[in-house]
Every structure is written in C-alpha cells, then in structure tokens.
Amino acid sequence: MNNKNPIEHLLIAGRGFTPLLTALFLQKKWGSLAPRMTLLQCGENPDPPVISCVSSIKQFHKELGIAEKDFVRKTEASFHLGTLYQFSDDRPEFFMCEAPYGVNLRAIRFNHWYTRYLNAGQRAQLDDFCMNAQLAKRGHFAPTSPKPESVYSQICYGYKLLSERYSNYLLAQLKPGFDMLSDEIQEIQTDLNGIHTVHFSNGKSISADLYIDCSRERLLNSALTGTCSEPSKEDWRIEVTPEYGLGPPHNLLTLGNDKLIFTTQLHGKTYHQEVTCNPNQLPKWQLDPQPWQKNCVTIGPATSNRPALLIDPLHLVASSLFRLYTSWPTTMDFETPAAIYNESFSDEWSRIADSDSLHAWAACNRNDKDLTDAAKHRMRVFINDGRIPPYENETMTEDQWATLFFALGIKPKVADPLSEGSDDHWLVAQLDKLKETLQAAAQQAPTMEIFYQNEVIR
Amino acid sequence: MPEPLAHRILIVGGGTAGWMCAAALSRRFAAANLHITLVESEQIGTVGVGEATIPHLRYFNERLGFREPDFLQATNATYKLGIEFINWGQVGEAYIHPFGVFGKDFRDVDFHHLWTRHRQEHPEDSLFDYSISVLAAANGKFAYPSGKKNDLLSEYSYAFHIDASRYATFLRRHAESWGVKRVEGKITQVHQHTDTGDITKLTLDNGTALEAEFFIDCSGFQSLLLSKTLNTDFIDWSHWLPCDRAIAVPTSSDGPPPPYTKSIAHSAGWQWRIPLQHRTGNGHVYSSNYMSDDEALAILRKDLPGEELAEPRQLKFTAGRRRHTWVKNCLAVGLSSGFLEPLESTSIYLIQAAIMKWMEFFPRTGDNQVRRDEFNQQMNMEYERIKDFLILHYHATRRADSPFWNYCRTMDVPESLRISMDMFRKVGYLKPYKHGLFMVPSWVAVLIGQGIIPNSWHPAVNEWDADALRINMEKLKQQMKAAASQLPDHLTALQRHCTTTNSNVEPWPKAAMSLYSVFS
Ligand SMILES: Cc1cc2nc3c(=O)[nH]c(=O)nc-3n(C[C@H](O)[C@H](O)[C@H](O)COP(=O)(O)OP(=O)(O)OC[C@H]3O[C@@H](n4cnc5c(N)ncnc54)[C@H](O)[C@@H]3O)c2cc1C
C-alpha cells in the first residue's frame, strides 16, 4: 500500500531547459511530497538557440507558479502570434496560428461558411478572418482580452525566447533542497529492476528510485536498451540583424524544394533552421517505443531520432511531464505506470507524425505515399466533406487541422450540407462584416515595439 | 458548383427511429426543400418499448426547437438522474450510475483516488455519497442543474423516462407540419438497380410504388433493407451480452415516480422499472440459454409495482450490430442497424448519433464512398465503446449463485476491456477518452459500484494525513447532502416544469452532448 510518495529520490540527467522544467514541475506538483532530487548535468546541451512556443505554455507556467510579467522581463521573451507560411512556388502565403479563424454561425463550423464564401465567387484568405493573423501582418500586438464580447478575446499567443535565458530563469525558480552535480558518468550498474547505481569517474555514486533521462545522448537509458537510434542534431544558422530590432510577433516557415526553413527574429538576430524533408534523405522516423523502461523515463530530445517539426519543444516537454504525473507509480511496481505512460506517449506521437508528414508532403512533391495513413484519412475526409475525423490524443484541434489544410492549399469540395440552404447574400454580408471588424481592431492595436516598451520594459 | 444533395428521401418505418429521422431531416434541412416520405405499417406496429433515455436527447430536442415543457407533457415524461443497479455486483448490493461526476478532483487527480485512500481506514464509506445526482435521486429530488460553473449543483445532467409511442406521435405531428409525407402500407417488395445494386423503389401491399434517391431503413429488427435486401452481415456479440429475450408489461404506479431507472438483476438477466407520469414500464431481460420464458414471466410478475395494464409482450433479439450501417444508397437507423440490449438506455442515443452524424455527411447525387466510409467508421466506434461498457456490467460481478452469472463472471472479455479493468484494479487508472459515450465517471460508478476497488491510489492524495482527509471528505459529503436535500421533490419539480404556458415557466438549461454536465 502507498506510503506517501513511493519515489523518494529522483535522478534527473541532462542539460538545458528540459531537466530544469522537470525538476520545477515536480517540485510544484508534489509540494510537500516532492521527492529528493539530484540534477545531473551531463551530455551536450540539446536546446535550440531560440524557442517559439504556443499558448499552452501559459497554463504550464501557471502550474509552475511563474508570473507572466516577471518571466517576460527577466527572460526578455517577446510575444508570438503564429507562423507565416511561405511556399517556394507561387502559392499565396498563409498565417498559421492557434487562434480561431472566423466564428461558427448557426452551429456550423466557420470553415464551411468560408468554403461557401469562395464558392460564391468571393476572394479572401481564410486568415483574413483571424485576429492573430491581422495583428501579425501589421506587426501589431495586443494581449488576450478576458471579456468574451471583445474581438481581442480571440487572441492566442505564446512567446519567443532564448533557451539559455529560459534555463537561467528556471534555475532561479527552483526551490533549494536539490543537489546539482556535473560529474562524469563512468558506469551504470543495472539489475532486474533497471538502473541500480550510477558510478562517476571521481569515485562517487548515486542510486535513486526513479531516473529521468533528459539527455540527448540517452546517457542513462542506453544502459537499459539500445532500441532507438541516435537523435539527430539540429542545424541552426544565426545572423546578426540589428535592423529588425525586437523582431516581428511571428515566425516564418518556408516550404518547398524538399525542405522546411524556419526563421525566427528576436532582439537583433535572425535564426534559421533548415530541415530536409526529402523522404530519401530523411532518416526513417523512429520513436522510442518505450520511453519509460523499468525505472528510467526518457523525456525530451531523445525520445525520437528527429525532433517534431512543427510542435514546439516546450509543449512536448510539458505534455510528457503531465503524463509522468498522471501515471506516477503508486507503489514500487513500475510495470503498470510504464505501460500507461508508453501508450499515451506513442498515441501523442502518432498524431504529431500526422501533421509532420503533411508538412513534409507540402514541402516535397506532394506525393501521397509520404503521408501517414491517418494524415491521408483526414485529408481525404476534409477534401470530400470539409470535416476532420475524430482521433484520440490529438495535439491539434479540429479547427487547427482544417486551418492547416487551407494553409497548404487543400480545400474541401463541399460545405456542410446544413449550410447550403442559407442565402449567399446573407453569408457574404456576414463574412465581409467580420473581416472588416477584425481589420479595424488589428489596426487600432499598438505595434509590438510600442506594446513591449510600454508594458514590459517600463 | 458542389454536387447537389440527394433530394428524395424515403424513410421505412415509423417507430422512434423513423420519426426521429423524419423530424430531424425536415426541420434541419427546411431550407433545402427535401422531399421526405415515411412509410409505416400499423399492421406490423412498433416495438413500443424504449422508454429510458440519456441526457443527449435534450440536445436533439433543442436542435429541433422543441420547448422542454411541451416535450414533457406530450410524452408523460419523468426526470431521470441515473440508473440504480440492484443485485449486480452481489445479491443484496445496489448503487446508482449517475449522470454526474463524483466529488472534487484534487491536483489533477480524479476524486476516486482520494476516496480509495480514505476507504482504507473507513471501509463503510460510500463513493456514491459524493455525487449530487445520486443523493438527489435516492431522495426523490429533482431540480435543473445550476448555471453557475464550479457550483456543486452544476455538476450533473439529466434525461427522461418517456412514453415511447407518445414521443413518436409528438415527433410525427411536428414532422408532418414540416412537410414530411406519411404513407400507410406494408412493404412487400424492394427493387434494386441491376448494375449498381442500389435500391430504386419499394412496392406496398396495395400496389403503390415508392421511389427515392436515398432510403433510410428504420424497419426495426426486421432490417428490411440493410439486412434482408442488401445482405449486410451481423456481428454477433451474444457471447458477451448473453441476454436475448425480454418480456415487457406496463403497470400502474405504486407511488410518486422516482427520478431514476431501476435495473434489478435476477438469476439469468435483469428487470427494468421505468416510472412515467401515468404508469410504470416493466420488463425482464433474460438469456433463453439459462431461463425459460415461463420462468422469466413468473419472476417478472412476482416483482411488479402495480396492476398490469396490458398483456405481457415478448421480444426476441440478439446483441450485436450490422457491419456497416450505410450501404449503397441506404442508411439503417435504430434496431435495423443493431441492438446492444437496453441496460444503459443507449439505443435512442445511437439513433440520435446516427442521424446527427449522417446529416453532416449527407449523401449527394455523385459518388458517396468517402463519406459513407467515414460515417460507418464513426458509428462503429460508437458501438464498440458502448459494447465494452455494457459487458463490464455482466463481467464485474462476484455473483456465483447461478450458471448465468458463473458464465458472465468467467467469460473471456474483449482485450480492451480486460486491460481497462486490470489497470483500474492495480492503480485506479482509466484512459481519458475524448470520443464515445461513457467516460471516466461512468466507468468509476460501475467498477466501484460492483465491487472493483483499486489496490492503490495516486500518491498525490497522500498530501493529506488521514485525519485531515477524513475531515475534508466528511465536509464535502455534508455539503453535498445539504445541497441535495434543498432540492424540491421530483413530482413537485415535474408539475412545475410540465406546463405549456410560457408565463412563469422556469427556464430549462441549455443542452449539451454530455452525460455529466449541461455545459458543452
Ligand atoms: C426490450 C427492449 C427494451 C428497450 N429499452 C430501451 C430503453 O430503455 N432506452 C432506449 O433508448 N432504447 C431501448 N430499446 C430500444 C428501442 O426500443 C428502440 O431503439 C426504439 O424503439 C427504436 O425502434 P425502431 O424505430 O428502430 O424500430 P420499431 O419500433 O420496431 O419500428 C419499426 C417500424 O418499421 C415498420 N415496418 C417494419 N417492417 C415494415 C414493412 N414491411 N412495411 C412497412 N413498415 C414496416 C413498422 O411498422 C414500424 O413502424 C429497447 C429495446 C428493447 C427490445
């Protein structure tokens, strides 16, 4: 039977923000029952130089007790409204974000009305109906309004920030009482239960109840298994571009010629990451089938042999940490918790693989064989009826999938049949009005530079 | 231009399924000018049972623009807050599966973990004392859930017990006023296109021919189009859900109607008791492998709440579903598409789900393959998830007093169910699905209600020492008890709400597609 927290001592290995987030999250979540933690700084720092994260980070920060103002000031984070997709061919650019596109009318999703709007001969991009897109295209920014009747309540934002500053900030948030080591691992002694003891070259050693491996090289987990190949390294190119100042409130993604190029501008620098997605060059995606093995859980960069292209790393770490908490061992028998964790992990990554494959598809030859079956399924149903089939463990909402399809130039053949009885004039007037309202509101909002000056720096 | 919608729709059957389809289509597609005809045969009649519902029906009614008081009055309805299961886990035990949640979650950990730990030292404590719907139901109380989020009185939903034939009449009245044409007659022949196999027309016993582009088979167990014409095979689940017969008989009521359904397990099945305003519906569902018809009738008659108002009727069925519910130009809705036995009142829900999904994937004049496949896949998922939950009721038992229960207790169950039960037993974990009907609170109710208590709990609840936990649990229990006791009696609430005049009528809450809340 349970005795307080069955995990009394935790060893967290790795460098960068993942082990720090792990420690902070577990400290907060467990409160007085938090296990004793040892942070072992080991391996290379796997963090990208800059992180752009979606709005889920705000909820996560709440869990961590992080106040937004303090965080933004101390990390000099700026605000992130979404990503502008640009295509190397002549397709029009599109602003992709988590905020709503349009509003549901007569209990029918907006994308159906938009399809009808196009069928009625009107010309507008779907992102013309999105508050985030309208703000970003003007370089403006406003925070989310708590009043549901305000158009600004639709704004959904995350942050852009430098990984190193984030790590320093997290370290300062950690409550004392943990040990920090940077000793070199010499040997990992295992037994039937998993890792028994980690021996260091200086002669010291540590035994813990549970080991969390956040290292890119899987320094702990590799002692138990060799199931997953070495994670690839990310290639970043950094340019000094003081002329862009703070940078825009969004990122850029160029798709085409078999690659995706991510561009982030922040505080006078431009960061480029180029990812090959030619299926012939890309290593076949290997997920760790069992990130939780015996008494060792792998979290972060080493859980797959290449990173998720479109999901930000903080979101993934946060979701792994919630999963770890939910499946936390109730006794010293780890078999059931590991099974719960591993199944939920692989469900989530199957869904991530779907959206990744769709981007790779768009950047390469739009060859259907590059898509996962579930991505093909969604695309087929979307083209046919403008609907997104239900999947468990989705990382994107139905609306986000529909938007992603529109972003990649994939449009449904028909709209919701229930929308078909409505009159075209009524529909066009409704959508035109919405577009104008959003444009006017976006125009009124301050530029991001001014907002930052007034609200953050001052 | 998009392909036009199929325009001429013929609905075969005028039971609950047929009239729900007719009303929904004529109302929701009012602007599309569909030609909807419904053919039914008075000579054949309807199954005439199906009187307990789940909260989703409120959403269906709301979408059709029905005022809840009109519906209550037209169907002689009473409210339903859940189902009481008597003698299921063991003879002499009872619990209510409520349309609501249990207790308050703690640090993102489901409440049943707190309770599991508390129970360690207080084995007499009942999880069901931490549910507003259970407390209200058990004390014969009812009120609309409050509109204030996080209020104890907001965390439940409700459904109805209805007179099924009156509901069909109510729907028919509206559907006809919305343009549905009703044809009386018995279908004697179904014609198919020689090349495509599509159904082209039906001939009635009086020689009338009825043509349409699309056919909806609501012909009940006969499955006249989907099975008899299009030969869609049946997936038989009777090895998991072994009841295959029912005897139904209405009786007078023996007192004020309780706001819940009763399901009383017997030696080879179970008995329902569904209270309406003017009578009580009763029936005994049993397995013909383990009990004779005479014995089943005798058991039912021994335990009736009032005088029999009609001759007992026997119904035969096999639990299972058709492999596909939309085949060629025919959609089957209701009993013609499958039947999972009436234990959790899921049939009318499945009718509603089929109609609502199908309206999203409405057939067009061209190729419908993709939408048909998608619709079928989504309906199959609905059936599969409900199936596991129903099997759980039979399997999670300690009863060893009859061959029937020995069979159910020891049978091999689907792998998905076996894993769910195993994880719950070991660590109290249940997979949080987003899609499907029965979610974590329902699984917790049946598992714990039938005696499966987790061996361990999430350690987050150890934050409280035993005394503090006891004090907090006691406080919550008292708050819930006090809140539930303030609610009006079921009959008083019913009389107050069941009025067709608009003045002074208490506004009823908005409906949601959820078993546990009136908030979407
Ligand atoms: C014992 C039992 C208990 C139940 N309890 C519940 C419950 O509590 N809750 C719940 O949700 N569901 C319950 N159900 C299910 C519920 O009764 C049905 O889902 C519901 O009544 C719908 O039935 P139906 O319309 O599909 O079929 P039916 O009511 O059988 O209607 C069939 C229609 O088809 C017509 N028809 C058939 N053949 C022909 C022909 N050749 N020509 C012309 N017309 C024809 C008939 O005239 C009739 O109008 C129960 C079912 C059973 C068997």
> What residues of B are in contact with residue A31 (Cβ under 8 Å)?
463
Instruction: Tell me the average pLDDT across A161-167.
Output: 97
A interface mutation test: which of B3, B113, B120, B429 has the most A CBs within 10 A?
B429
Residue with tokens 């519902």: B53
Q: CA B319 to CA B338: how far, in whole Å?
A: 7
Q: CA B453 to CA A333: how far, in whole Å?
A: 18
Which residues, other chains included, contact A18 with Cβ-Cβ below 8 Å and sequence gap of 6+? A46, A47, A214, A299, A300, A301, A313, A317
pLDDT in tens, B264-285: 999 999 999 999 999 999 999 9
β pairing state of A269-276 and A236-240: antiparallel
Q: Is B482 in CB contact (< 8 Å) with chain A?
A: no
pLDDT at position A20: 98
Atom 13 of ligand 1, nearest CA residue: B50
CA B518 from centre of chain: 17
pLDDT at position A256: 92
Q: Provide the shortest C-alpha distance from residue B54 to chain A (in Å).
A: 22
What element of type H or E holds A110?
helix A110-119
Measured from the Cα of B13, ligand 1's closest atom is 34
Q: CA A252 to CA B496: how far, in whole Å?
A: 60
pLDDT at position B504: 74
Q: Is B378 in CB contact (< 8 Å) with chain A?
A: yes
Q: Is A2 in CB contact (< 8 Å) with chain B?
A: yes
Q: CA B516 to CA B100: how far, in whole Å?
A: 4
CB contact under 8 A, A339 and B423: yes
pLDDT at position A1: 42
Give the C-alpha distances (Å, rounded to integers) separating B115 from A202, A425, B124, B193, B307. Answer: 48, 58, 11, 62, 43
> Cα(first)–Cα(last) distance of chain A, in Å?
54
Atom 33 of ligand 1, nearest CA residue: B13
Catalytic residue set of B: 80
- pTM of the prediction? 0.96
Both tokens assigned to A366? 């739009």
Atom 14 of ligand 1, nearest CA residue: B50
Residue with tokens 């190029």: A261
Q: Is A59 in CB contact (< 8 Å) with chain B?
A: no
Determine the residue type at B491.
Answer: L
pLDDT at position A103: 95
Domain boundaries defined on chain B: 101-155+385-485, 245-316
Q: Provide the shortest C-alpha distance from residue B518 to chain A (in Å).
A: 17
Instruction: Tell me the average pLDDT across A155-163.
Output: 97
> What residues of B are in contact with residue A388 (Cβ under 8 Å)?
none
> What residues of A are in contact with residue B361 (Cβ under 8 Å)?
385, 387
> Cα(first)–Cα(last) distance of chain B, in Å?
35
- A380 to chain B: nearest residue by CA? B370
CA B358 from centre of chain: 19
Pocket (CB within 6 angstroms of ligand 1): B 13-18, 39-41, 44-47, 49-53, 164, 186-187, 218-220, 222, 224, 246, 248, 283, 315, 317, 334-336, 342, 345, 347-348, 351
pLDDT at A230 over 80: no
Is residue B97 within 8 Å of residue B66, measured between CB atoms?
no
- The rounded percent of chain B whose pLDDT value lies above 70 is 99
Residue closest to A263 by CA, chosen among A86, A46, A92, A90: A86
pLDDT in tens, B379-419: 999 999 999 999 999 999 999 999 999 999 999 999 999 99
Which residues, other chains included, contact B332 with Cβ-Cβ below 8 Å and sequence gap of 6+? B216, B217, B218, B223, B225, B226, B232, B322, B325, B326
Q: Is A418 in CB contact (< 8 Å) with chain B?
A: yes
> What residues of B are in contact with residue A416 (Cβ under 8 Å)?
360
| Each residue's pLDDT expressed in tens, for chain B with a length of 520 residues | 788 999 999 999 999 999 999 999 999 999 888 999 999 999 999 998 879 999 999 999 999 999 999 999 999 999 999 999 999 999 999 999 999 999 999 999 999 999 999 999 999 999 999 999 999 999 999 999 998 877 899 999 999 999 999 999 999 999 999 999 999 999 999 999 999 999 999 999 999 999 999 999 999 999 999 999 999 999 999 999 999 999 999 999 989 999 999 999 999 999 999 999 999 999 999 999 999 999 999 999 998 999 999 999 999 999 999 999 999 999 999 999 999 999 999 999 999 999 999 999 999 999 999 999 999 999 999 999 999 999 999 999 999 999 999 999 999 999 999 999 999 999 999 999 999 999 999 999 999 999 999 999 999 999 999 999 999 999 999 999 999 999 999 999 999 998 766 667 889 999 999 999 998 7
Q: Measured between CB atoms, which of A328, A330, A381 is closest to B370?
A: A381
pLDDT at A348 over 80: yes
Atom 1 of ligand 1, nearest CA residue: B246
Q: CA B141 to CA B158: how far, in whole Å?
A: 12
pLDDT at position B147: 82
**Which DSSP state fits B329?**
T
DSSP code per residue over B200-220: EEEEETTS-EEE-SEEEE--G
Distance (angstroms) between ligand 1 centre and the Cα of B482 equals 42
Q: Provide the shortest C-alpha distance from residue A13 to chain B (in Å).
A: 23
Measured from the Cα of B317, ligand 1's closest atom is 53
Q: Is A285 in CB contact (< 8 Å) with chain B?
A: no
pLDDT in tens, A262-283: 999 999 999 999 988 876 766 6
Q: CA A295 to CA A301: how far, in whole Å?
A: 19
Instruction: Tell me the average pLDDT across A166-194.
Output: 96
- A30 to chain B: nearest residue by CA? B460
Q: Provide the shortest C-alpha distance from residue B434 to chain A (in Å).
A: 6
> What residues of A are in contact with residue B30 (Cβ under 8 Å)?
421
- B460 to chain A: nearest residue by CA? A30
> What residues of B are in contact with residue A325 (Cβ under 8 Å)?
108, 460
β pairing state of A194-200 and A185-191: antiparallel
pLDDT at position B455: 97
* Residue to mutate, B11, B19, B38, B40, ligand 1, most ligand atoms under 8 Å from C-beta: B40
Q: What is the mean pLDDT of chain A?
A: 93
Q: Is A339 in CB contact (< 8 Å) with chain B?
A: yes
Q: Is B2 in CB contact (< 8 Å) with chain A?
A: yes
pLDDT at position A2: 44
Could you tell me which residue, A344 or B500, shows the higher pLDDT?
A: A344
Distance (angstroms) between ligand 1 centre and the Cα of B16 equals 6
Q: Is B313 in CB contact (< 8 Å) with chain A?
A: no
Q: Measured between CB atoms, which of A4, A390, A414 is closest to B462?
A: A4
pLDDT in tens, A26-85: 999 999 999 999 999 999 999 999 999 999 999 999 999 999 999 999 999 999 999 999
Q: Provide the shortest C-alpha distance from residue A108 to chain B (in Å).
A: 10
Q: CA B362 to CA B372: how far, in whole Å?
A: 9
Q: Is A415 in CB contact (< 8 Å) with chain B?
A: yes
B interface mutation test: which of A118, A331, A381 has the most B CBs within 10 A?
A381
Is residue A162 within 8 Å of residue A271, measured between CB atoms?
no
Q: CA A335 to CA A327: how far, in whole Å?
A: 11
pLDDT at A285 over 70: no
CB contact under 8 A, A422 and B31: yes
Distance (angstroms) between ligand 1 centre and the Cα of A114 equals 40
- A414 to chain B: nearest residue by CA? B2
> What residues of B are in contact with residue A394 (Cβ under 8 Å)?
434
Measured from the Cα of B188, ligand 1's closest atom is 41
Domain A9-457 class?
alpha beta
CB < 8 Å from B in window 361-400 of A = 380-381, 384-385, 387, 389-390, 392, 394
Distance (angstroms) between ligand 1 centre and the Cα of A389 equals 30
pLDDT in tens, A286-322: 666 689 999 999 998 888 766 777 788 899 999 999 9
